A and B are shown apart, each in its own frame.
Chain A
Amino acid sequence: MKKYLKVWWLYTINSFEVQLNVRWGLILFLFAKILRFAAFAFFLVVLVSSTKVLAGYSLDQVILFFLSFNLLDILSQLLFREVYRFRAAVVSGNFDFYLIKPLNPLFRSLFTGADLLDFITLIPLLLAVAYFINKLQVVGMINLVGFFLMLLVGFLVALSFHILVLSLGILTTEVDNAIFIYRDLIGMGRVPVDIYMEPIRGLITFIIPVGIMMTFPAKALMGLLTWPLMIYAVLFVSFLLYLSLKTWQFAIKRYSSASS
């Protein structure tokens, strides 16, 4: 464990240094990310200020859903950024080097490209979440425990999805857009999944667990999530994680080296 933490730290420092090489590009990316976040938040404020509610939720609640989505999205991008470069490693044959080193190839493929920009944006986001928790007067300890439990579940769903994308990258090098499909799917959770009509709502809550990832944490915090649903979420993510690890093992056995 200590060895992996040290390796992660070294890769993270290295990744940050590479990003800092093109500083003006970094500033543009940072500005664009902040603009994207601010524009959507502004849209929600303008919209819900006029309509008073969105799918039965007040403005503060809708903002909390949006912040909760961003928290998980940024955290998974911060930690799993290397997945976005994985296909290139497979196609070029560089994945061979992942396999011959005394380091778990799954760890190498998932965690070794931390993104500095996401780290920078994570801090104000955490402050904003704390502000809205305070504003909504969430005082119950059970609510807070439920919130952190559902955040952990959401994070594990994200981890499982990323492992599945890596596996897909090995099995079929044809797929460039798989990770972006994941991004668009979870993007549907920027607002509470209650806005969608059935059967889409059921589909993205229970089958493709966008609802579990993005809506459940905020609902747990507001005391709107029942215990059976929390238990369902924990069982679901356990199965999904198991399935993704099995898929990874299946895929890696079928890897054949590429390039010259």
Chain B
Amino acid sequence: MKKYWEVFKITWQQLLIYRVNFALWRLRTILQLLLVYFIWWSVFQSQDKVFGYTTASILTYVLVAALMRAVVLSTRVTDMIDSINSGNIVNFLIKPLGFIRYYLTRDIADKLFNIGFYIAEVSLLILLLKPPIIIQTKLPVLIPFFIATLGGLVIYFCINFIVSLTAFWVENSWGPLFLMSVFLESLGGGLFPIDILPKPLFDILMLTPFPYLIYFPAKLYLGSMSYSEIISGFSIIFIWITVLVALMRVSINAGFRHFSAVGN
């Protein structure tokens, strides 16, 4: 456990090396948030209710979705691609360090680092913009919200892990990663709550893992989901986690079997 605590500390130190770079990264997340926020803010200047959402519920959704992006989507797993391509991955074969646990620790460190900044930034935005937002205090709503967030976190970790492992076989793994990020942004609920889409399309999307990273937890926070929707959502999360964890383990073994290293 102690060695992973050291990995955690090193990850934070690495994040603090390029401070200007990190500050710019945070600025990017604010700019992305502002675009989505103001599209919806503008819509509600002339209407009280759109797609069943009120001003308070949609602006809360936008802010919680931004939180989900900070918690779920911040990751260090993709560093693995460079590690495989450069051959540094052999370190895991000769050192007493768990492959999955190492990247999981780095991921958690990165997420905690980002959450801290997210809280400061959003507090500032709320102070400046004064949006009407919903502060959720009901435990029966908050508990499923936290569990769903955790589920989304595991799903995203596994997907990133599996896609990054493709570097064992192919030269360029950034194509699938880019595609996945676009899927997430567009169809995972980052830009808009996906229940505004036509029902058949919404139903199909809910069978994929993407809505469970942003849309599902954010919608849970609003407390407007029925019991059947919640149960169905958690069942799909459970199925996806089971499938992805199994696939991740198979891919790791296959990848290391395929891997060969040369050099001095």
Contact = CB atoms under 8 A, between A and B. Distances in A.
Interface of A: 22, 24-29, 31-33, 35-36, 39-40, 43, 46-47, 50-51, 53-55, 172, 174-178, 180-181, 184-185, 187-188, 190-191, 194-197, 200
24 contacts: A22-B171, A24-B170, A24-B175, A25-B170, A33-B182, A35-B183, A36-B186, A39-B182, A40-B191, A51-B47, A51-B50, A172-B20, A174-B19, A176-B21, A177-B24, A178-B24, A181-B27, A181-B31, A184-B31, A185-B31, A187-B31, A188-B35, A195-B42, A196-B38
Contact of B197 (A24, A46, A172, A174): A46
A197 B24 CA distance: 23
B121 interface: no
A6 B179 CA distance: 34
B18 A39 contact: no
Nearest to A176: B21
A50 B175 contact: no
A190 B192 CA distance: 15
Contacts of A46: 196-197
Given A36-B186, A54-B43, A181-B31, A195 B21 contact: no
Contacts, number: 114
Contact of B42 (A33, A55, A188): A55
Nearest to B51: A50
A197 B41 contact: yes
Q: Which 8 residue pairs of A and B lie closest in terms of their CB atoms, listed nearest first?
A: A39-B186, A28-B175, A195-B42, A25-B175, A177-B24, A184-B31, A32-B179, A25-B172
From A24, A174, A177, name the one whose CB has the most chain B CB atoms within 10 angstroms: A177
Contacts of B28: 177, 180-181, 184
Interface size class of B (residues with CB under 8 A): 35 or more
B177 to A, nearest CB: 9
B98 interface: no
B237 to A, nearest CB: 23
Contacts of A185: 31
Given A184-B28, A196-B34, 9 more contacts: A26-B175, A28-B176, A35-B182, A36-B186, A40-B186, A54-B43, A187-B31, A196-B38, A197-B41
Interface in B38-82: 38-39, 41-43, 45-47, 50-51
Interface of B: 18-21, 24-25, 27-28, 31-32, 34-35, 38-39, 41-43, 45-47, 50-51, 129, 170-172, 174-176, 178-179, 181-183, 185-187, 191-192, 196-197
Contacts of B172: 22, 25
A35 B172 CA distance: 20
From B50, B129, B175, name the one whose CB has the most chain A CB atoms within 10 angstroms: B175
B114 to A, nearest CB: 14
A118 to B, nearest CB: 14
A174 B21 contact: yes
Nearest to B178: A32
A50 B31 contact: no
